[in-house]
Amino acid sequence: MRALVTGGAGFIGSHLCEKLLAQGHHVTAIDNLTTGNHANISALEAMDRFDLVVDSVLDEPLMDRLVRDADVVFHLASAVGVSLVIDEPTKTIQTIVEGTRVVLDYARRYRKRVLITSTSEVYGKGSKIPFSENDDVVLGPTSTRRWLYASAKMLDEFLALAHWHETQLPVICVRLFNTVGPRQVGQYGMVLPRFAKAALNNEPITVYGDGDQTRCFCHVDDAVNALIKLTETNDAHGKVINVGSDEEISINDLAKLVISLAGSSSKILYIPYDEAYTQGFEDMRRRVPNLGLARELINYQPRHDLEAVIQSTLAYWTDRD
Ligand code: UDP
* Per-domain residue ranges of the chain: 2-180+218-246+288-302
* pLDDT exceeds 80 at position 43: yes
Of these residues, 149, 208, 277, 300, which one is catalytic?
149
Q: Name the pLDDT band for 252 (thresholds 50, 70, 90).
A: very high
Distance (angstroms) between ligand 1 centre and the Cα of 208 equals 7
Count each helix (H run) and each strand (E run) in the chain, helices first: 12, 13
Q: Name the pLDDT band for 166 (thresholds 50, 70, 90).
A: very high
Beta bridge partners of 6: 30, 75
The arithmetic mean of pLDDT across residues 71-94, rounded, is 91
pLDDT tens profile 104-163: 999 999 999 999 999 999 999 988 999 999 999 999 999 988 899 999 999 999 999 999
Q: Name the pLDDT band for 3 (thresholds 50, 70, 90).
A: very high
**Nearest ligand 1 atom to alpha carbon 213:** 15
- The Cα–Cα gap between 119 and 192 comes to 18
Residue 36's pLDDT is: 93
Distance (angstroms) between ligand 1 centre and the Cα of 182 equals 17
Give yes or no for a contact between 97 and 156, defined as CB atoms under 8 angstroms apart: yes
Q: How many CA atoms lie within 13 A of 27 on its CB side?
A: 30
Q: Name the pLDDT band for 93 (thresholds 50, 70, 90).
A: very high
Q: Name the pLDDT band for 188 (thresholds 50, 70, 90).
A: confident
Nearest Cα neighbor of 94 from 162, 12, 149 is 149
**Nearest ligand 1 atom to alpha carbon 284:** 15
- The Cα–Cα gap between 307 and 159 comes to 38
Q: Name the pLDDT band for 256 (thresholds 50, 70, 90).
A: very high
Residue 149 falls in the annotated catalytic set: yes
Distance (angstroms) between ligand 1 centre and the Cα of 205 equals 12
Instruction: Name the percent of the chain lying above pLDDT 70.
Output: 100
* pLDDT exceeds 80 at position 81: no
Q: What is the pTM of this model?
A: 0.97
**How many other CB atoms are there within 10 angstroms of residue 33's CB atom?**
13
Domain 2-180+218-246+288-302: give its CATH code.
3.40.50.720
Helix (H, G, I), strand (E, B) or coil at 21: helix
